[in-house]
Amino acid sequence: MAEDNVKEIEDLIKIVSKLPGLGPKSSRRIVLKLINNREEIIKPLTNTLAQVYKNVVRCKNCGNLKSLSSDCVCSSKKYDQICVVENIADMWVIQNSGIYKGHYHILGGTLPSFESKNNGNGLLIDSLIDRVKKNSVKEVILATSASIEGETTSHYISDSLKNLKVKITRLAKGVPVGGEIEFLDDGTLFSAFKNRNLISKD
């Protein structure tokens, strides 16, 4: 291809190919599309990416994305229910399904089943406990994946919250063993939320 000898294009192809689901061929097609639409796509995309890089950060309280120019949604009002997920992609899937309308807490990953969990492994677990205390939360919904790591994380959080007066539930039917929230369809998510299990009571 003619673009093989252009270093800037090859560098862009390598970057694009790092995105989920994109291989070298798909990346080349995307790059060619960008090049053929400089004003319509490249220019606004470049400006938008620069603004995201500069202004969008992760909230240290709930783990969601927020703009530096505004408060995070978690500080907007009181709430009595929190859905705990592993990552932002999981939150978006649940939001798009319309099943759950409350607040979220994004952990930023899961706990390895074979390592020490004394410090929460860098996950936003301490801030979850603080949110439960400060907002008099009545229910924490654990929506971690049905993998070994997801189950380990769920049990760790449940143990961390056991001395607080909060109901802890876990997504139930519909989440297969080894399944990840991000890849579940709306029907499966609906069943999981409707049939969530009680882990502990007041």
Q: What is the pLDDT of residue 1?
A: 46
Helix or strand holding residue 24 (H, E): helix 24-35
Based on the fold, state whether residues 51 and 91 are members of the same structural domain.
no
At residue 107, the pLDDT reads 96
In this structure, what token pair is assigned to residue 157? 């959080």
Is 122 a domain residue? yes
Residue 127 in contact with residue 61, Cβ under 8 Å? yes
pLDDT at position 135: 86
Residues 31 and 88 in one domain: no
135 and 183 housed in the same domain? yes
Over range 132-147, report the average pLDDT: 90
Would you state the pLDDT for residue 177? 65
Question: Domains in the chain: how many in total?
Answer: 2
Which pLDDT does position 199 carry in this prediction? 75
Beta carbons within 8 Å of 146's beta carbon, 6+ residues apart = 171, 175, 176, 177, 178, 179
Residues 85 and 179 in one domain: yes
Answer yes or no: is pLDDT of 120 > 60.
Answer: no
Identify whether residues 39 and 82 lie together within a single domain.
no
Contact criterion met (CB below 8 Å) for 105 and 128: yes
Residues 89, 186, single domain; the answer is yes
| Residue range 53-72, pLDDT digits in tens | 999 999 999 999 999 988 89
pLDDT at position 49 is 96
Residue 12 pLDDT exceeds 60? yes
Same domain flag for 103 and 35: no
pLDDT band at 197 (very low <50, low <70, confident <90, very high): confident
CA 187, distance to chain mean position in Å, is: 20
**Is the same domain home to 109 and 171?**
yes
Treating both helix axes as pointing N-terminal to C-terminal, what angle do 24-35 and 7-16 enclose, rounded to 10 degrees? 120
CATH number at residue 98: 3.40.1360.10
The answer to the question of residue 63 being in a domain is: no
Q: Domain containing 50: what range? A: 2-57
Residues 127 and 30 in one domain: no
Range list of β-strands (E), 107-147: 139-142
Instruction: Please indicate, yes or no, whether residues 28 and 86 belong to a single structural domain of this protein.
Output: no
- Res 165: pLDDT: 87
For residue 82, what are the β-bridge partners? 103, 140
pLDDT of residue 26: 95
Residue 116 and residue 152 in one domain? yes
- Lowest mean pLDDT across 31-40, 57-66, 113-122, 182-191: 113-122
Question: Which secondary-structure segment (H or E) carries 126?
Answer: helix 126-134
Strands 81-85 and 139-142: parallel
